[in-house]
C-alpha cells in the first residue's frame, strides 16, 4: 500500500487532528516508523527544564537567600 495516497480526508478523530497539526508528510512518516505503537511526546515544560536548570545554576552565587 502506498501511503502517499492517504489524504487528510481519509483520517478521523485524533488521527486527523494530529495530521492537521504536523502535516501529512510528517504524519505518514510517523505512521511508517511508529504505526501501531504508543508514542509519548514530552510536555513543553519538560522539554525546557534542562535549559531552565542551567540558567538557575549560572545565576546562583552560593549565598543563602
| Mean pLDDT per 10-residue segment, the chain (65 residues) | 91 97 97 95 93 90 71
Output the pLDDT for position 32: 95
Q: Tell me how far CA of residue 23 lies from CA of 1, 12, 57, 65, in angstroms.
A: 20, 15, 38, 48
Distance CA 65, CA 62 (A): 9
Output the pLDDT for position 1: 66
Output the pLDDT for position 9: 96
Amino acid at each position: 500500500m502506498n501511503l502517499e495516497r492517504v489524504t487528510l480526508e481519509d483520517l478521523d478523530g485524533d488521527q486527523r487532528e494530529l495530521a492537521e497539526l504536523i502535516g501529512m508528510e510528517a504524519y505518514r512518516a510517523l505512521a511508517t516508523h511508529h504505526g501501531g505503537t504508543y508514542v509519548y511526546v514530552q510536555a513543553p515544560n519538560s522539554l525546557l527544564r534542562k535549559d531552565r536548570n542551567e540558567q538557575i545554576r549560572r545565576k546562583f552565587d552560593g549565598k543563602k537567600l
